[in-house]
Amino acid sequence: MTTQSSSIAELPQVSLQKSHLAEGISLSELLVLAGLASSRDAARTLIARGETLIDDRLVDNAMERVRLAEGAIRLTAGAGQVMLRAV
């Protein structure tokens, strides 16, 4: 039996420039950069379907600005999940 904390540790890691994330980036663009959507249109579709979470929070606005200066967030879109870190 796998605990949630160990499954989180096993998620693929995606690193993006801290300066890019500190300014904020639209959720649809972030899904593409994280490899969870093939295009912004595909990302918007996932978001509209209610299939996108930041950590455990449902996000339904493709233009929502995501900011991350320190630490990491768990990004989920459809069946995919990654840990996103600012470097």
Got the DSSP string for 48-85? HTT-EEETTEE---TTPEE--SSSEEEEEETTEEEEEE
List the structure tokens of 20: 């890019």
Residue 10 covered by a domain: no
The answer to the question of residue 1 being in a domain is no
Count Cα atoms within 13 angstroms, Cβ side, for 11: 25
Is it the case that residue 5 has pLDDT exceeding 80?
no
The CATH number given to whatever domain includes residue 31 is 3.10.290.10
| 73 beta partners | 84
> Tens digits of per-residue pLDDT, 26-80?
999 999 999 999 999 999 999 999 999 999 999 999 989 998 877 899 999 999 9
Domain count, the chain: 1
The pLDDT of 81-86, averaged and rounded, is: 92
